[in-house]
Amino acid sequence: MSIQTYRPTLNAGQVYLRVAGSAAPLVAIGNVSALQLEIAEEEKTLQDYTRPGGGQWAAVSRVTGVTASMTLHDLDPVNLSRALYGDTDAETGATVTAETHTAYQRGLVRLAHPAPTSVTVKSGDVQADLDTGTEVADNAITWTAVPKGTLGNTVTVTIVDPAGNNAALAVSVAGSDITVSCATDGSSAISSTAAQVMAAIEASAAASALVTVADTGTSDGSGLVVAVTETALSGGTDTTHVVDVDYEVRPEGIMILEAGIADATEIRVGYTYAAYDVVEALTAGSQTYELSFGGLNEANSNSPVVLDIYRLQIGAAANLSLIGDDFAALEVSGKVLLDSTKTGTGISRYFKVSMAA
Reported as a single tens digit per residue, the pLDDT across 305-342 is: 999 999 999 999 988 888 889 999 999 999 999 999 99
- pLDDT band at 356, cuts 50/70/90? confident
- pLDDT band at 69, cuts 50/70/90? very high
Condensed to tens digits (0 to 9), the pLDDT of residues 39-66 reads: 999 999 999 999 998 899 999 999 999 9
pLDDT for 53 equals 87
Same domain (yes/no): 120, 136: no
Mean pLDDT of 113-122: 97
pLDDT for 313 equals 96
Same domain (yes/no): 312, 174: no
Range of the domain at 229: 128-235
Give the three-class secondary structure for 85.
coil
Per-residue DSSP letter, 193: B
What does the buried/exposed string (b/e) look like for 235-266 if buried means 16 or more CB atoms within 10 Å of the residue's CB?
ebebbebeeeebbebeeebbbbbeebbeeebe
Tell me if 265 is assigned to some domain: yes
The percent of residues in the chain predicted with pLDDT above 70, rounded, is 99
Same domain (yes/no): 83, 207: no
- pLDDT band at 253, cuts 50/70/90? very high
Same domain (yes/no): 243, 109: yes
Same domain (yes/no): 224, 164: yes
Mean pLDDT of 183-204: 96
pLDDT for 147 equals 87
Same domain (yes/no): 67, 116: no
Per-residue DSSP letter, 61: E
Tell me if 299 is assigned to some domain: yes
Condensed to tens digits (0 to 9), the pLDDT of residues 213-243 reads: 999 999 999 999 999 999 999 999 999 999 9
Tell me if 55 is assigned to some domain: no
DSSP string, 257-285: PTTSSPTTEEEEEEEEE--EEEEETTSS-
- pLDDT band at 163, cuts 50/70/90? confident
Does the structure show a pLDDT above 60 at 1? no
Tell me if 54 is assigned to some domain: no
Please state the pTM of the whole predicted model. Answer: 0.73
Q: How far is CA 146 from CA 131, 135, 178, 206, in A?
A: 15, 23, 13, 11
In degrees, rounded to 5, the angle at the alpha carbon of residue 334 between the alpha carbons of residues 332 and 339 is: 150
Distance from C-alpha of 344 to C-alpha of 69, rounded to nearest angstrom: 28
Does the structure show a pLDDT above 60 at 295? yes
Same domain (yes/no): 173, 257: no
pLDDT for 256 equals 97
Compute the radius of gyration of the chain from its Cα atoms: 36
In sequence order, the β-bridge partners of residue 41 are 63
Taking alpha carbons only, the member of 266, 261, 278 closest to residue 88 is 278
| Cβ 139 vs Cβ 216: under 8 Å | no
- pLDDT band at 28, cuts 50/70/90? very high
Tell me if 45 is assigned to some domain: no
Counting the structural domains of the chain, the total is: 3
Mean pLDDT of 287-292: 96
Tell me if 262 is assigned to some domain: yes
Same domain (yes/no): 208, 249: no
Same domain (yes/no): 97, 120: yes
Find the helix or strand (DSSP H, E) in which 195 lies.
helix 194-203
pLDDT for 2 equals 60
Tell me if 24 is assigned to some domain: no
| Cβ 238 vs Cβ 150: under 8 Å | yes
| Cβ 63 vs Cβ 332: under 8 Å | no
Mean pLDDT of 175-198: 96
User: Residue 170 contacts by C-beta under 8 Å, 6 or more apart in sequence?
Assistant: 180, 181, 200
Tell me if 332 is assigned to some domain: yes
pLDDT for 3 equals 63
Mean pLDDT of 24-31: 96
In degrees, rounded to 5, the angle at the alpha carbon of residue 352 between the alpha carbons of residues 22 and 26 is: 30
Taking all residues of the chain, what is their mean pLDDT, rounded to a whole number?
94
